[in-house]
Amino acid sequence: MRAFIFPGQGSQAVGMGKALADASPVARAVFEEVDDSLGRKLFALMSEGPADDLLLTENAQPAIMTNAIATLRVMEQEGGIRLADKADFVAGHSLGEYTALCAAGALGLATTARLLRLRGRAMQAAVPVGKGAMAALLGADLAKAQAIAAAAVAAVLEDTGETLVCTVANDNDPSQVVLSGHRPAIERAIALAKDMDAKRAVLLPVSAPFHCPLMQPAADAMEAALAEADLRAPLIPVYCNVDAVAIADPDQVRAALVRQVTGMVRWRESVLAMAGAGTDRFVEFGGKVLAPMVKRISPDVAATSVVTMDDIGEMLKTL
């Protein structure tokens, strides 16, 4: 069995998609459709930068999605295949869940781009710049990360009397967990991490504390937008981040996407669940972040990244 998977924020880079667009009219059509839907030249920003503008959440989220969908569509149309015939499941990391839904026909491309632009803006606006932060804990599993987060909250409360947020945002793989919350609590977690047996703790260069309760205003905005969106049942089940289970009912999908904004991305559990359901091959489109994570989570499965035209050609030989 096979799962097609799609990356989240952090996989953006200036130049993304350019070689694909130069080589394939199918890819160019995807980039043009998104530009038209957003009323701006997103592909020019992806191709030429500046990097600081591409890094902005409202730009990075639709850009990453568009690049992944362009890669998938080139493979489908030039290879004469259909996702529903070649994949048993789809899944994506954070914003990648929207990409997965678009790939599986639940959301149109233009709708997905507009939803992700709104999601990016709402997440950025939910917390004033500088008030929140995120940190990656390396060499820490979920239980250890939760203990570090709890200790950080307790330490700040004892020192200042304030109850701040510090919680697990992403359970990525057995050796990498991300914390999110108020900056003082995250900084305390970084200070505590080594003494609590984490190998390393790194403050992430992000503009907001994603996937934590501080994102509730963004969740409210997405609930309103998704209620109006044309969202259909996906052609194949999608493993949702917040529950790590396969869903296909549109109402369930909407609810999961809303809860995802403030909830933990359960990527490790999602991969284990797909592997447990019989998936022995994972194919990542438009990035090279998730495939290595998959191998760390489930070493016995095959995991491949498809980014370039050469990658597409090699993948078509095996489908």
Q: Which residues are catalytic?
A: 94, 211
Using alpha carbons, select from 21, 90, 30, 34 the residue that is nearest to residue 61.
34
Using alpha carbons, select from 286, 279, 319, 285 the residue that is nearest to residue 302.
279
Q: What number of CA atoms fall less than 13 Å from residue 203's CA on the CB side?
A: 16
Contact 109, 33 (CB under 8 A): yes
Cross-strand partners of 138: 176, 200
Report CA-CA distances (Å) from 92 to 68, 168, 180. Answer: 11, 18, 20
User: Helix and strand tally (H, E) in the chain?
Assistant: 15, 10
CA-based torsion, 224, 228, 229, 232: positive or negative: positive
Torsion of CA 267, 273, 277, 278, to 10 degrees: 60
Contact 37, 113 (CB under 8 A): yes
A 10 A CB-CB count for 259 gives 17
∠67-68-74 over CA atoms, to 5°? 90
Contact 286, 8 (CB under 8 A): no
CA-based torsion, 209, 210, 211, 215: positive or negative: positive
Report CA-CA distances (Å) from 272 to 16, 245, 281. Answer: 30, 10, 12
Give the phi and the psi of residue 210 in degrees, each rounded to 5.
-75, 160
